[in-house]
């Protein structure tokens, strides 16, 4: 009998426990979908956050399936440039990510961000569940009250996400000189400093 119990315990430890742990780890991945103008510039602030697993530039919010960069940048698809942030909610909360998000966008303008104009460059928090929606709305209201701004950032339900072409992914790492030239030329950090006192780079 003791041998059977020992064998059963060993079986649980070897087979069942790893499966349960894997299931637990799978549940520890959440997603945030955020539009803040040029997606090149929205990856770096999140990549350095402990608990962020990955960032992916892409398109969302429109009606065209599998859009290309040329289509989206022309403003004919309804999509916005977004960054999909996968994160471990046990290490970083959605509320923490949203605080970072606000300080890396200009919420005071409609259908543009910095030097890029058009609805494809609108700012938006695309929520995946009710908790995310509440956090987005509460922080938006708080900013409007504290700053006295009209905040044009949309709070909308997340729709299908389409990853952007590979050359857009981690652009700031692959092409650091061009990235810095674009970012500086667009006046992004200067405007962020005016709004928040820190660019949040």
**Which residues 6+ apart lie within 8 Å of 35 measured at CB?**
60, 61, 80, 81, 82, 83, 122, 123, 124, 125, 126, 154
Strands 154-157 and 123-127: parallel
d(CA 89, CA 51): 7
Residue at token pair 């729709």: 159
Active site residues: 38
Dihedral of CA 54/43/110/136: which sign? positive
* H or E element that contains 112: strand 112-113
The owner of tokens 């405007």 is 191
Contact assessment for residue 69 and residue 164, using Cβ atoms and an 8 Å cutoff: yes
The pair of three-digit structure tokens given for residue 58, joined into one six-digit string: 């892409």
Among residues 26, 40, 122, 125, the alpha carbon closest in space to that of 78 is found at 122
């Amino acid at each position: 009998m003791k041998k059977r119990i020992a064998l059963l315990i060993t079986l649980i430890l070897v087979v069942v426990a790893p499966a349960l742990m894997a299931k637990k780890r799978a549940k520890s991945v959440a997603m945030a979908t955020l539009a803040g103008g040029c997606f090149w510039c929205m990856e770096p602030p999140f990549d350095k956050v402990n608990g962020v697993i990955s960032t992916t530039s892409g398109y969302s919010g429109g009606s065209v399936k599998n859009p290309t960069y040329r289509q989206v940048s022309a403003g004919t698809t309804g999509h916005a440039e977004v960054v999909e942030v996968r994160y471990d909610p046990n290490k970083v909360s959605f509320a923490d990510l949203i605080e970072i998000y606000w300080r890396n966008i200009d919420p005071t303008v409609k259908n543009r961000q910095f030097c890029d104009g058009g609805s494809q460059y609108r700012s938006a928090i695309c929520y995946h569940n009710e908790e995310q929606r509440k956090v987005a709305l509460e922080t938006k209201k708080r900013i409007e009250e504290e700053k006295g701004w009209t905040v044009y950032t949309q709070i909308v339900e997340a729709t299908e996400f389409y990853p952007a072409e590979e050359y857009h992914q981690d652009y700031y790492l692959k092409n650091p000189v061009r990235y810095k030239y674009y970012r500086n030329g667009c006046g992004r950090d200067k405007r962020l400093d005016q709004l928040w006192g820190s660019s949040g780079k």
